[in-house]
Amino acid sequence: EAGVVQSPRYKIIEKKQPVAFWCNPISGHNTLYWYRQNLGQGPELLIRYENEEAVDDSQLPKDRFSAERLKGVDSTLKIQPAELGDSAVYLCASSSRAENTEAFFGQGTRLTVV
Amino acid sequence: AQSVSQHNHHVILSEAASLELGCNYSYGGTVNLFWYVQYPGQHLQLLLKYFSGDPLVKGIKGFEAEFIKSKFSFNLRKPSVQWSDTAEYFCAVRRGTYKYIFGTGTRLKVLA
């Protein structure tokens, strides 16, 4: 079974430029998460989707960040414009609604803003 | 504020030494608890999880964790570490609606 797939793995951009990250969750997983992991920290939730609905986006900086999951499968996270402080690893995870299950993570996109 | 604390940020052990990594959380009520591991260059992977029942949970690769409700703790243990256990370990708490709160992680280095 394929895991959570993210692309690109690495991205270097200049500040004020836009950037987008893509995530393909595990087939059949209704719940999709975007996390940000700063250096030396644990992952922090940015947004959670149930199917195509964003049910928790309270931690998403909405002035520059946006996300979508149009058909309830793949998702895109965008930053426009990027700032130096956005440098981090952006993680996508997915889970099913089965009881006693866990979230499965992708390898992440390491963003460097210069 | 709701939080998950991992007190050991860096741990260095020799092979065959015993390991215990601390994890404390600050939520009341029912929680689900997890330990994830991230090997160098790889994604976060589940080591073990606790939902209910026996508070001593067995995971993969010889790891175990004990949930002590009165102490709000879920410490990770392994009797004898191997060089291949070198990784970063994250404790996570899930409460209610599928929101995972992670600790800051512990970097473990095992010397051969």
Tell me: the pLDDT tens digits for A53-97? 999 999 999 999 999 998 889 999 999 999 999 999 999 999 998
Task: Please name the member of A31, A42, A104 whose beta carbon is closest to the beta carbon of B103.
Answer: A42
- Domain limits of chain B? 4-111
pLDDT over threshold 80, residue A1: no
Between CA A85 and CA B69, with CA B3 as vertex, the angle to 5 degrees is 155
Task: Please name the member of B44, B98, B103 whose beta carbon is closest to the beta carbon of A95.
Answer: B98
Give me the pLDDT at residue B97, please: 63
pLDDT over threshold 70, residue B42: yes
What does CATH list as the number for A5-113?
2.60.40.10
Tell me: the pLDDT tens digits for B16-25? 999 999 999 9
Interface test with A, best of B6, B8, B37, B100 (most A CBs within 10 A): B100
Contacts of B61 (CB under 8 A, 6+ apart): B47, B78, B85
> For the residues A103-108, what does the mean pLDDT come to?
95
> For the residues B30-34, what does the mean pLDDT come to?
91
Q: Say which CATH superfamily domain B4-111 falls into.
A: Immunoglobulins (2.60.40.10)
